[in-house]
Structure formats: C-alpha cells, structure tokens
Chain A
C-alpha cells in the first residue's frame, strides 16, 4: 500500500514570496491533516479536512495560509506572503476517520521550507 506522498521535499524562498505544497493521502483515507513542525518541537495541527470539508482550521494563520482539498483526495497548502517564522517542516497526514483506531494518522515525509 502506498503511503502519504508530498512534494516538493525541500523549498527555499525569500520572505514575502509565495509557496505551495502538495499532498496525496493514502487511498481511501477520508481525513487529511496539515501540520507545521518547527525545529525542536512536535507537529502542530494547522488544518484538518474530512473529505473535502474543513473540520478544524483554528490554528491556521488565515491572513497568509490557505488550504484546499477540492475533490476530497489530494490537497494543497499555500503560504502568501511567507515570513521568516514560517521556516519549518510541513507534514501531511491522513487517516480513515477521526475516532479510535480510525484516527491512526500516517504521515508523509514532509516539505522542509526555508524562508530567507
């Protein structure tokens, strides 16, 4: 079974530029998550989708971050404009559902973003 796919793996941009990340979850997984992981910390949830609807985006900086999952499968996360503090690894995860064993989340390899 293929895992969660993410691209690109690395991205270097200057502040105020825009960037987009792509995620393809495990086939059949209804729930998709985007996490931000700053160096030395655990992942922090940015946004959660159930199929193509947003379940939780309470920690997404909506003035600069946006995400979509139009057909309920793959998803994109965009930052516009980027700030220095956005330098982090952006992880995508997916799960079958949201409770009990259905919420075992499987992570992609992440995209390491460096903002100069």
Chain B
C-alpha cells in the first residue's frame, strides 16, 4: 500500500485565497515531486525537490522538502479557477531505482 499520507483530502476555497497541502511519511525520501492531474489527463510535473530544506517556486506555487526528509509541503498563492484539479505528492527512496510512491491526492476546488 501507499506509504505517503497526503492531506487534506479535499479543499474548497475561494478565488484569491492561498492553499496549503502536505505529504508525510514514516520513511526517508531522497526526492519529492509534486504533480497536478486534470480530469481525463495524466499527472503533470509541477515542482521537483532534491535536498532537505530546499524551497522551490514555480510561479504561484512553492514547495519545500522537509528537514527530516520525511515530509514535503506545497503552497499555492492567490488561487485562480484553473488551479482546480488533484495534486499528488510523490517520493523516491534512495534504493528504489527510480520507483515513485504517490500520495492519495488533494482535490482542490476553487469557487469564484
């Protein structure tokens, strides 16, 4: 089963608000990736993190690699309607030969 605990499961927010979600695990990861999936499409890579403590931005998105290497956070600032979708965290462990473990996703709904 999945080892990554992603929360919240869903969020209903108003346009312009900020969004925060996180992913935690009991295991250490070397890489954290954040993806967004629109209905009927495959996940699209948003941000990749490679070092503990790393903070990386992509437009209005900011993600952090937790100091303990067991968690990661994604923030979306000033949400807009096109931010609607499901956001997934994914982590790679050191000995996994590229295998990613995914969280169950956070569904974001933005209302005008």
> Which residues does A use to contact B, with CB under 8 Å?
4, 31, 33, 40-45, 48, 50, 55-56, 91, 93, 95, 97-101, 103-110, 112
> Which residues does B use to contact A, with CB under 8 Å?
2, 4, 6, 31, 33, 35, 40-45, 48, 50, 88, 90, 92, 97-100, 102-105
- Chain B residues with Cβ under 8 A from A95's Cβ? 98
With A42-B88, A100-B31, A100-B50 in contact, is A107–B43 under 8 Å at CB?
A: yes
Residue of B nearest to A97 (CB): B98
CB of A48 within 8 A of CB of B102, answer no
- Chain B residues with Cβ under 8 A from A4's Cβ? 42
- Chain B residues with Cβ under 8 A from A100's Cβ? 31, 50
**New contact pairs (9) apart from A45-B100, A103-B98, CB-CB < 8 Å:** A40-B105, A42-B90, A42-B102, A44-B102, A101-B48, A105-B33, A105-B100, A110-B40, A110-B41
Docked CA distance A43–B91 (Å): 12
Contact of A103 among B31, B40, B42 (CB under 8 A): B31
Q: Which of A43, A45, A55 has the most CB of B within 10 A?
A: A43
Tell me the minimal C-beta distance from B98 to chain A in angstroms.
Answer: 3
Q: Which of B45, B97, B105 has the most CB of A within 10 A?
A: B97
- Chain B residues with Cβ under 8 A from A93's Cβ? 42
Residue of A nearest to B44 (CB): A107
Residue of A nearest to B6 (CB): A42
